[in-house]
Amino acid sequence: MSEKTLTDDVHVGAVEAPPAASSSKRWWILAVVAVAQLMVVLDATIVNIALPSAQADLGFSDGNRQWIVTGYALAFASLLLLGGRIADLFGRKTAFLVGVVGFAAVSALGGAANGFGMLVTARALQGAFGALLAPAALSLLNTTFTDARERARAFSVYGAIAGAGGAVGLLLGGALTDAFDWRYTLYVNVAIAVVAFVGGLMLLTNHRDAANSKLDVPGTVLVAAGLFSLVYGFSNAETHDWGSPLTWGFLIAGVLVLAAFAWWQTKSAHPLLPLGILLDRNRGASFLAVLISAGGMFGVFLFLTYYLQLNLGFSPTKTGVAFLPMIGALMVTAQVGTQVLVPRIGPKAVVPLGFAVSAAGMAWLTGIGVGSSYVSAVLPQLIVTGLGLGLVMPAAMQLATGGVTADEAGVASATVNAMQQVGGSIGTALLNTLAASAASDYLAGKDATSKLVQAQATIESYTTAFWWSAGMFVVGAVIAFLLFRRGVPEQDADAAPVVHM
């Protein structure tokens, strides 16, 4: 392990690094970061399984139901870059601890909700504090692990959590709802946050790499408005249609405002997102890989959850358990991909291979039927898809945040999280719309009152979503192959991982 600290020529405004800590401390930091990241990621899905119970308890309409999920995604996606920059400006430890405490407090507020308004407000505030916490967590890894092999191992763990957190949320949400009450899907965050807060307080140092910079207020407003419009537009596609002004109007506005944001970043003295971060080929390819993998993953989690519960009669808990083999497969290839394959043959082969394997798994999953068996028609396909995603997400996250200067680590990390959120929103809206159309087309001219016909229509909707997910992964494979550079990525001596925590 190299013991060097920041040199004077790393970046203007950088301060002397703290002394190197023992290797064991770094792994405890990884554990704390992983716990916090798991809390943020699983909250994107943990409430999904509990929604029917929450709706029955609080009495809100089907139309309002989606905002319990979307409120979290909207706040999270639109405020991520701001959260990342705050971590760079005011210190990662401060941002991390404030994010953890705030997330726990508003989770408790949501658990105690006495109506729809209180619950949706709490979910939006969860997203806001998550937008502060998630970039700080990822940038802490980026600056804590300096040795290439250790860093690869750390990112394989982090990437596996980011990829599997949605399934863990389904499992935990189902178990808590079955055993206790839907409110515990929110209360559980308080217990998780206590562990993360105590660990962060004891282990982290409040290093500020951009202390002499200023916050880009116009850039912050533009990117928040642009990301909000994109996510809101795609969310409206689920409840309205693609022809609605509330859908295409917000999508067009989002694209235009983000274009204005990109222009402003070339003029700003202290840009929120230096465009050099995006223009590096490997990093740009990694951002797109995270975006596409997040979009395609919703085809696995969302529609397979429906299939297992509504068609195969699985309980919420059993549904969560059904995803565990996928998580196991993902974690295995996360380790192999980041520690063995990428360091030896580079991402140009590994990431496209992962996308291709995932596409094969999703295409195989289209063979499900009304009376299919989980063991034969779902389990092998889930394992194959997990093996593929394990090669994509951890490697892409590591490459997306590697090689940036220390004062840009937070915003690069925030961009990864933003890509994941926007990709998930696009995937949800697109696949939901396509699945609904497939079901309607199947029912046309048939006896819609027949339970068998209705069941077959739902199968038609699921398999359509799976085919489109497979298509997304194929597109991801092509883009990754074309954009990633040949060979093994070099470690930049002036990059962020020169600070020992």
Q: Dig out the tokens for 128 from the structure.
A: 């806001």
Q: Which residue has the higher pLDDT, 108 or 205?
A: 108
What average pLDDT score do residues 313-324 get?
A: 83
Q: Does residue 234 sit in the same domain as residue 112? A: no
Summarised one tens digit per residue, pLDDT across range 189-229 is 999 999 999 988 888 876 665 555 677 888 888 988 888 88
Whole-Å CA distances, 434 to 116, 208, 246, 458 = 29, 46, 18, 12
Specify if 15 maps to a domain.
Answer: no
Is residue 23 predicted with pLDDT exceeding 70?
A: no
Is residue 279 predicted with pLDDT exceeding 70?
A: yes
Please report the pLDDT score of residue 475 as a whole number.
Answer: 96
Q: Are 111 and 123 in contact (CB under 8 A)?
A: no
Please report the pLDDT score of residue 479 as a whole number.
Answer: 95
Please report the pLDDT score of residue 31 as a whole number.
Answer: 85
Q: Does residue 345 sit in the same domain as residue 445? A: yes
CATH of the domain at 51: 1.20.1250.20
Q: Does residue 115 sit in the same domain as residue 211? A: yes
Please report the pLDDT score of residue 453 as a whole number.
Answer: 87
Q: Does residue 86 sit in the same domain as residue 206? A: yes
Q: Which residue has the higher pLDDT, 211 or 135?
A: 135
Cα–Cα distance, 176 to 163 (Å, whole number): 21
Helices and strands (H and E) in the chain: how many: 19, 0
% of the chain beyond a pLDDT of 90: 27
Q: Given pLDDT bands bounded at 50, 70 and 90, which one contains residue 379? A: very high
What average pLDDT score do residues 62-83 get?
A: 78
Number of domains observed in the structure of the chain: 2
Q: Does residue 101 sit in the same domain as residue 228? A: no
Q: Are 111 and 261 in contact (CB under 8 A)?
A: no
Q: Does residue 210 sit in the same domain as residue 228? A: no
Q: If we measure between CA atoms, which residue out of 456, 300, 480, 473 comes closest to residue 379?
A: 300
Summarised one tens digit per residue, pLDDT across range 83-98 is 888 887 888 888 889 9
Q: Which of 1-10, 81-90, 131-140, 422-431 has the lowest mean pLDDT?
A: 1-10
Q: Which residue has the higher pLDDT, 213 or 183?
A: 183
Q: Does residue 30 sit in the same domain as residue 115? A: yes
| This model's pTM is above 0.85 | no
Domain containing 96 equals 23-215+272-483
Q: Are 164 and 34 in contact (CB under 8 A)?
A: no
Q: Does residue 127 sit in the same domain as residue 207? A: yes
Q: Are 258 and 225 in contact (CB under 8 A)?
A: no
Cα–Cα distance, 299 to 305 (Å, whole number): 10
End-to-end CA separation in angstroms for the chain? 13
- CB-based contacts of 372, cutoff 8 Å, min separation 6: 312, 378
Q: Does residue 75 sit in the same domain as residue 163? A: yes
Q: Does residue 94 sit in the same domain as residue 150? A: yes
| Percent of the chain that is helix, strand, coil (3-state, to 5) | 80, 0, 20
Q: Which residue has the higher pLDDT, 494 or 109?
A: 109
Specify if 262 maps to a domain.
Answer: yes
Residue after which a domain boundary falls, among 271, 288, 305: 271
Q: Does residue 236 sit in the same domain as residue 355? A: no
Summarised one tens digit per residue, pLDDT across range 340-374 is 898 889 899 999 999 999 999 999 999 998 888 99
3 state DSSP class of 313: coil
Specify if 77 maps to a domain.
Answer: yes
Specify if 340 maps to a domain.
Answer: yes
Specify if 210 maps to a domain.
Answer: yes
Residue after which a domain boundary falls, among 271, 290, 314: 271
Specify if 232 maps to a domain.
Answer: yes
DSSP secondary structure string, 369-438?
Answer: -TT--HHHHTHHHHHHHHHHHHHHHHHHHHHHHTT--GGGHHHHHHHHHHHHHHHHHHHHHHHHHHHHHH
Burial of 275 (0-12, 13-18, 19+ CB in 10 A): exposed
Specify if 6 maps to a domain.
Answer: no
Residue after which a domain boundary falls, among 271, 301, 316: 271
Q: Does residue 335 sit in the same domain as residue 450? A: yes
Q: If we measure between CA atoms, which residue out of 435, 423, 424, 319 comes closest to residue 52?
A: 319
Specify if 276 maps to a domain.
Answer: yes
